[in-house]
């Protein structure tokens, strides 16, 4: 049995569970058990493969769908980047799914809630695994379709009116993506990531220019991915969206959706659209840097100004995305590794905070900071979980956020982007401020203790048990990412290396011959260059 | 939404079997020529919806006595199943088995591919989705 | 051919952008659907460029063994990839259309309006 072929299970398992879930519309309990098993299986598979790949010199597993050779068929690639993201996303999905058992409306749950969560993860996993641009589009669409449905779940008036912003904006973005994919095919004749990377590397090795319009195309795709990833000028859809839906779903979205957009940038830009010192890179890199600064800083200012827990957390997603874009803007291997590490820790921590917010809402009946308080005494366990997650988000030293930020900010300093690093440090301080705001209003302030404990705001603990399990699971993962940062960072560093020097990826997908050709072309052009230097004097 | 036109009612009796047959033909042809599960499914869904327009919802239920959800389940299950089987045989996902099958008595050669089962699944999904969608939307409008 | 196609793309784009600037959700939805068609047309316009890889590798592939002229491969097959892209995009557009239409129906039932200004007012009221 070939191990490579089994990476497709990341797609097959959620899809199969979703398909069965369509039939189990009324049998909620079986659907729940199956869903949990599916997420457990994908997380175990991802972690197992990651551990296995640590001892593997190549470190990339490739499966060609239908045994069609690489640039023609569909390639599915599992490398360190996809592996880490798959592991983190499966764990986050597991926790949010378990949490949703205590928050989802029982009537709405029978309307295909379980298949939709599975299909969302089907899309997310496919996005992380796929090896070509068009399947990336398809996976985005699957994911978005499921997210539209989950967003309007319950169908309240507020949800209906707010959903249009998200749905229409993403539809326009998707259309732009189709046009972009078509243009890429028109210019290069291929859509496979490895083949595209080879195309760019070959041109650069021979000293030829990229096709005219390649830079414009890069910007168009950056626009598409930036819209999904909510980076600076394109983040306006995010706060309203996460505000209206079910809180477990908001946690899942906060963990997944923006990160898939960032992943798409991380996968395609260092390898293809901004590789080396092409014209496209000269336009894209400053754009990314400016966007990173604005995303970080404006996002956190928005968070400081809000006064609802959910709004603060939602706007915070934007500010944290800024750090990832900061890592991408530097595009060195260390920065990419830091970006990846930050991405997975942010998925875990941010979802955990949303899950805590769900429990807080059940305790106080609202997420308005003025109306809540005194939770430290009422629910000490929740307070501890929230505090650990909040401090991980801020990045206090032994916790996970610290390592990601440290790597990115130090690399920014070294790459003479010191102004971005200063923005990063400032943002960190303001993040601390906004988290302490939630902490002091919601947990520390004694005001809420005077609130009478009526049956309405005194939830029975047994219905909240899944919620606590979900939050606990994520906080454990966050603690592991903090105290066991070394092995995770090693994998992330390997992913950064693979992105910065795409030869390993190209070789894994297209075979060793093309790499030899590439090396020969490089040697020839180097020889030509030295000959030219000898002739000129 | 029923249109009570005798012309439509009577011509539908003639057109419906033809459309269903053509849908199957388009699905089977799709392996080597234009056509395929999606096109076949669309034609079939159109046929069923037109039948509903002429004869009413009760007639549609007689023609397709299952809930669209079941069709979607069967179709997706079939497509997923046929594409997963190669994994157990050590082949990549979606790998299709092809070959020639000789009919026992006449000796006609019959080219087959296991991808056909996948196409059949796609067709079931498309019929389920198409009919289900139109049914839901027209129920809302009524 | 390319010129006709590009004119078509431009016209469809213009119409869809005009529809999307409307104040009714219905017209915005129609604009979005048309935008998808414009994108598909633009892929057709794109597909006339030569294929980068000569389909040498495909010779042994099962689907092309019949009616495939190895001496002149480019004349006997049409570049299938853009067609596959468009078919996929159409299917996705179909699903999106279904979703958006049902969302419109639900919205009008919940709020009694599909005009953007009135929806803005409705959004601030409680359920």
Checking if the pLDDT of A417 tops 90, the result is: no
Q: Choose the closest CB to B137 out of C66, C87, C101.
A: C101
Checking if the pLDDT of C126 tops 60, the result is: no
Residue A313 contacts residue A353 (beta carbons within 8 Å):
yes
Q: State the SS3 of A358-412.
A: HHHHHHHCCCEHHHCCCHHHHCHHHHHHHHHHHHHHHCCCCCHHHHHHHHHHHHH
Helix (H, G, I), strand (E, B) or coil at A308: strand
Set out the domains of chain C in order of their start, with CATH numbers. 2-49+79-124 (1.10.287.3510)
Q: What percent of chain A has pLDDT over 70?
A: 96
Range with lowest mean pLDDT among A13-27, A323-337, C35-49? C35-49
Residue A393 contacts residue A435 (beta carbons within 8 Å):
yes
- Each residue of A170-211: pLDDT tens digit? 999 999 999 999 889 888 888 899 999 998 988 888 888 888
The mean pLDDT of C75-97, rounded to a whole number, is: 81
Residue A522's pLDDT band (boundaries 50, 70, 90)? Answer: confident
CB contacts of C106 in chain B (<8 Å) are: 140
Chain C residue nearest residue A244, CA to CA: C123
Rounded distance between C-alpha atoms, residue C28 and residue C100, angstroms? 11
What's residue C70's pLDDT?
A: 56
Residue A331's CB is within 10 A of a number of other CB atoms, namely 22
Checking if the pLDDT of C76 tops 70, the result is: no
Q: Choose the closest CB to C49 out of A145, A156, A186.
A: A186
- Each residue of A436-446: pLDDT tens digit? 888 888 888 77
Residue B54 contacts residue B2 (beta carbons within 8 Å):
yes
Residue A496 contacts residue A342 (beta carbons within 8 Å):
no
What's residue C57's pLDDT?
A: 44
Residues A477-488, buried b or exposed e (16+ Cβ, 10 A)?
bbbebbeebeeb
Q: Shortest Cα distance from A68 to chain B (angstroms)? A: 8
The mean pLDDT of A267-272, rounded to a whole number, is: 91
Q: Is residue B12 assigned to a domain?
A: yes
What is the per-residue DSSP string for A428-440?
Answer: HHHHHHHHHHHII
Determine the structural domain holding residue B59 and report its residue range: 6-141
CB contacts of C28 in chain A (<8 Å) are: 168
Rounded distance between C-alpha atoms, residue A132 and residue A268, angstroms? 10
What's residue C49's pLDDT?
A: 47
The mean pLDDT of A482-493, rounded to a whole number, is: 91
How far is the CA of B111 from the CAs of A66, B6, B115, C61, C86, in angstroms? 18, 44, 12, 15, 28
Q: Is residue B56 assigned to a domain?
A: yes
Those residues with Cβ within 8 angstroms of residue B74's Cβ, 6 or more apart along the chain or in another chain? B121, B124
Residue A348 contacts residue A401 (beta carbons within 8 Å):
no
What's residue C59's pLDDT?
A: 44
What's residue A492's pLDDT?
A: 93
What part of B 59-118 touches C (C-beta under 8 Å)?
96, 98, 113
Q: Is residue B1 assigned to a domain?
A: no
Kindly state whether C8 is in contact with chain A, defined as any CB-CB distance less than 8 angstroms.
Answer: no
Q: Where do the structural domains in chain A lie, given as residue ranges?
A: 4-451+460-535
Q: Is residue B53 assigned to a domain?
A: yes
What's residue A471's pLDDT?
A: 93
Checking if the pLDDT of B43 tops 90, the result is: yes
Q: Is residue B72 assigned to a domain?
A: yes
What's residue A445's pLDDT?
A: 79
Best probe of the A interface among B92, B121, B124, B133, by most A CBs < 10 A, is B92
CB contacts of B140 in chain C (<8 Å) are: 102, 105-106, 109
Residue A160's pLDDT band (boundaries 50, 70, 90)? Answer: confident
Residues A140-165, buried b or exposed e (16+ Cβ, 10 A)?
bbbbbbbbbbbbbbbeebbbbbbbbe
Rounded distance between C-alpha atoms, residue C111 and residue C113, angstroms? 6
Residue A260's pLDDT band (boundaries 50, 70, 90)? Answer: very high
Q: What are the tokens at A115? A: 């298949």
The mean pLDDT of B33-60, rounded to a whole number, is: 89
Query: Per the structure, how many domains does chain B have?
Result: 1
**DSSP summary character for residue C48:** T
Kindly state whether C85 is in contact with chain A, defined as any CB-CB distance less than 8 angstroms.
Answer: yes
What is the per-residue DSSP string for chain B?
Answer: -----HHHHHHHHHHHHHHHHHHHHHHHHTTTSS--HHHHHHHHHHHHHHHHHHH-HHHHHHHS-S-HHHHHHHHHHHHHHHHHHHHHTT--TT---EEEEE-TTT--EEEEETHHHHHHHHHHHHHHHHHHHHHHHHHHH-
pTM: 0.91
Rg over alpha carbons for chain B, rounded to the nearest Å, is 18
The mean pLDDT of B126-137, rounded to a whole number, is: 90
- Each residue of A117-159: pLDDT tens digit? 999 999 999 999 999 899 999 999 999 999 999 988 877 788 8
Checking if the pLDDT of A334 tops 70, the result is: yes
Kindly state whether B73 is in contact with chain A, defined as any CB-CB distance less than 8 angstroms.
Answer: yes
CB contact under 8 Å between C66 and B133, yes or no, is no
């Amino acid at each position: 049995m070939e191990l490579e072929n089994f990476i497709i299970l990341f797609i097959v398992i959620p899809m199969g569970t979703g398909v069965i879930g369509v039939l189990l519309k009324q049998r909620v309990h079986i659907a729940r058990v199956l869903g949990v098993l599916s997420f457990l299986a994908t997380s175990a598979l991802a972690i197992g493969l990651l551990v296995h790949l640590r001892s593997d010199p190549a470190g990339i597993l490739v499966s060609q769908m239908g045994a069609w050779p690489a640039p023609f068929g569909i390639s599915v690639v599992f490398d360190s980047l996809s592996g880490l993201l798959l592991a983190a996303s499966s764990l986050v999905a597991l926790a949010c799914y378990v949490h949703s058992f205590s928050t989802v409306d029982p009537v709405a749950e029978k309307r295909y809630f379980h298949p939709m969560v599975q299909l969302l993860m089907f899309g997310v996993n496919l996005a992380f695994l796929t090896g070509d641009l068009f399947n990336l589009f398809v996976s985005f669409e699957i994911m978005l379709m499921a997210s539209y449905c989950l967003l309007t779940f319950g169908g309240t008036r507020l949800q209906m009116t707010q959903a249009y912003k998200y749905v229409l904006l993403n539809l326009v973005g998707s259309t732009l993506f189709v046009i972009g994919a078509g243009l890429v095919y028109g210019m290069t004749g291929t859509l496979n990531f490895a083949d595209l990377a080879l195309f760019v590397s070959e041109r650069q090795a021979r000293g030829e220019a990229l096709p005219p319009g390649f830079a414009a195309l890069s910007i168009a795709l950056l626009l598409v991915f930036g819209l999904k990833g909510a980076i600076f000028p394109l983040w306006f859809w995010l706060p309203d969206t996460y505000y209206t839906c079910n809180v477990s779903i908001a946690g899942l979205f906060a963990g997944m959706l923006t990160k898939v957009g960032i992943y798409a940038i991380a996968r395609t830009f260092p390898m293809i659209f901004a590789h080396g010192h092409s014209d496209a890179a000269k336009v894209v890199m400053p754009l990314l840097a400016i966007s990173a600064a604005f995303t970080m800083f404006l996002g956190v200012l928005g968070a400081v100004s809000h006064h609802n827990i959910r709004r603060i957390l939602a706007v915070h997603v934007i500010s944290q995305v800024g750090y990832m874009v900061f890592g991408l803007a530097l595009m060195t291997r260390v920065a990419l590794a830091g970006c990846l590490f930050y991405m997975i820790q942010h998925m875990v921590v941010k979802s955990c905070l949303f899950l805590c917010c769900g429990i807080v809402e059940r305790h106080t009946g609202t997420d308005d900071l003025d109306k809540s308080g005194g939770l430290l005494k009422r629910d000490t366990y929740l307070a501890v979980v929230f505090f650990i997650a909040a401090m991980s988000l801020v990045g206090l030293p032994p916790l996970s956020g610290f390592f990601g930020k440290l790597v990115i900010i130090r690399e920014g300093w070294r790459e003479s982007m010191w102004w971005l690093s200063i923005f990063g440090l400032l943002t960190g301080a303001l993040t601390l401020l906004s988290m302490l705001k939630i902490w002091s209003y919601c947990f520390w302030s004694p005001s809420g203790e005077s609130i009478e404990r009526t049956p309405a705001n005194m939830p029975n603990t047994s219905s909240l048990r899944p919620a606590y399990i979900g939050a606990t699971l994520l906080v454990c993962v966050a603690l592991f990412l903090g105290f066991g940062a070394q092995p995770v960072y090693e994998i992330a560093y390997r992913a950064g290396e693979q992105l910065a020097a795409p030869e390993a990826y190209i070789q894994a997908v297209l075979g060793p011959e093309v790499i030899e050709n590439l090396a020969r072309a490089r040697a020839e052009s180097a020889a030509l260059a030295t000959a030219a230097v000898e002739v000129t004097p | 939404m029923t249109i009570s036109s005798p012309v439509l009612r009577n011509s539908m009796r003639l057109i419906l079997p033809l459309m269903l047959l053509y849908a199957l033909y388009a699905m089977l042809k799709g392996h080597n020529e234009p056509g395929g599960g999606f096109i076949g499914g669309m034609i079939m869904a159109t046929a069923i919806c037109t039948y509903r327009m002429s004869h009413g919802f009760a007639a549609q239920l007689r023609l397709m006595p299952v809930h669209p959800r079941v069709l979607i389940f069967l179709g997706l299950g079939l497509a997923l199943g046929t594409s997963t089987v190669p994994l157990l045989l050590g082949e990549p996902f979606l790998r299709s088995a092809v070959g020639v099958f000789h009919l026992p008595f006449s000796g006609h050669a019959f080219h087959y591919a296991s991808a056909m089962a996948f196409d059949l699944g796609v067709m079931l999904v498309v019929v389920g989705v198409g009919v289900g969608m139109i049914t839901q939307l027209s129920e809302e409008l009524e | 051919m390319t010129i006709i196609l590009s004119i078509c793309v431009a016209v469809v784009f213009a119409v869809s952008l005009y529809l999307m600037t409307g104040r009714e959700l219905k017209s915005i939805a129609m604009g979005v659907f048309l935008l998808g068609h414009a994108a598909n047309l633009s892929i057709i316009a794109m597909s006339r460029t030569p294929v980068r890889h000569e389909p040498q590798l495909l010779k042994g592939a099962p689907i092309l063994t019949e009616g495939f002229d190895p001496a002149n491969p480019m004349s006997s097959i049409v570049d299938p990839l853009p067609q596959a892209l468009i078919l996929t995009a159409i299917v996705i557009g179909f699903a999106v259309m279904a979703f958006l239409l049902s969302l419109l129906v639900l919205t009008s039932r919940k709020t009694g309006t599909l005009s953007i200004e009135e929806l803005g007012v409705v959004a601030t009221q409680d359920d």
